[in-house]
Amino acid sequence: MIEVENLQKHFGAKVAVDGVSFTVNKGEVLGFLGPNGAGKSTTMRMVTGFLPATEGRVTIGGADIEDNELEAKSKIGYLPEAAPLYSDMTVEGFLRFSAEMRGVPASELDDAVDKAIETTFLEPVRHQSVDTLSKGYRHRTCFAQSIIHDPEVLILDEPTDGLDPNQKHEVRQLIRRMGEEKAIIFSTHILEEVEAACTRAIIIDRGKVIADGTPDELKARSSNAGSVLLRASGLAGSGIEAELEKLPEARSVSVEESTDDGIVARILPAKGKGKGLGKAVSDLCQTKKLTISELRVEEGRLDELFREITKTDDQD
């Protein structure tokens, strides 16, 4: 549905996006992650046809965004980062305008507006002027605008920004639900959002894609993934630490807390052989007659991976 090939954007000498490629199919929700200034918004602006690309191609449902502009744009719903609105209109007026512009037939206008208002919980401010809306309502009004024509492709630049936790939850559910029959790209800083709503995620840093996979795959890449946390007691003189180190599945053991009668240790998996680490640790404890009070295999965490592979550099 969305095909992006070697997309580049240069602003003068500065390279904002440097060869980004990805594909999003119908039924996929792609999370777009990256530090501030990594090129997320610039990429989205090129995908929606707002910014012309310096190099590369974007096709939306087979239509090239530059050669076949109108056809490609008619398939897209877009929520820009700043959630811009015409301040002199009412919420309903604005949505009606957007629907007309997006080619919703006159006979279906009322239904489309009603549906968008209902989906984004805008009923209380329906007749209010955009000028007087709170940030959350403004954001949702712009969100409503992007889904009003029931597009095949949705591109959302930080859709949950400025929402309270309940609303964030609602919007994530909504994205997830809509993702079943659309191709969606959304960018976010909030990593748990990726797990909650995405089928796939891309991490982008300094204009380049540095990780691409399902949330589970990405989590597994973080250095803590597969490590085992053990909290056990009853080990006077058992030398458990050394025993743990000897396990073929373990790479290293770090003791986080140690008393006469107990230990809290984190065991990192050996490369390639870490699969059975949890079982091995538990077997070892049984033979040593230790009482396990906690034994947990870490899944790995997105924020760890994110910190490990993206660099914050304020110089550029």
Give the residues lining the site for another protein (CB under 8 A): 45, 48-52, 69-71, 73-74, 76, 78, 80, 82, 84-89, 97-98, 100-103, 142, 145
92 vs 298 by CB, closer to another protein: 92
Q: In the bound complex, what is the minimum distance in angstroms from residue 203's beta carbon to another protein?
A: 25
Cβ–Cβ < 8 Å for 136, 163: yes
Ramachandran angles phi, psi of 27, nearest 5°: 90, 0
What is the nearest approach in angstroms of another protein to the Cβ of residue 190? Answer: 22
CB of 101 to another protein, least distance (A): 5
Residue 126, C-beta contacts closer than 8 angstroms, at least 6 positions apart: 90, 91, 92, 117
Let me know: does 257 contact 264? Beta carbons within 8 Å. Answer: yes
Pick the closer one to another protein by CB: 14 or 271.
14
Distance of CA 256 to the CA centre of its chain: 32
Provide the minimum distance between the beta carbon of 54 and another protein in the complex, in angstroms, as a whole number: 9
Q: Which of 102, 215, 82, 94 has its CA nearest to residue 157?
A: 82
In the complex, least distance from residue 75 CB atom to another protein, rounded to whole angstroms: 9
| Cβ at position 131, least distance to another protein in Å | 10
Closest residue by Cα to residue 188 from 48, 44, 24: 44
Contacts of 251 (CB under 8 A, 6+ apart): 268, 269, 270, 271, 274
* C-alpha pair distances (Å), 165 with each of 184, 192, 233, 294: 22, 12, 40, 31
Residue (80 or 179) nearer to another protein, CB: 80
**Between residues 77 and 269, which has the closer beta carbon with respect to another protein?**
77
> For residue 314, which phi and psi values (nearest 5 degrees)?
-80, -5
Q: Which residue's CB is nearer to another protein, number 52 or number 239?
A: 52
Whichever of 97 and 121 has its CB closer to another protein, that residue is 97
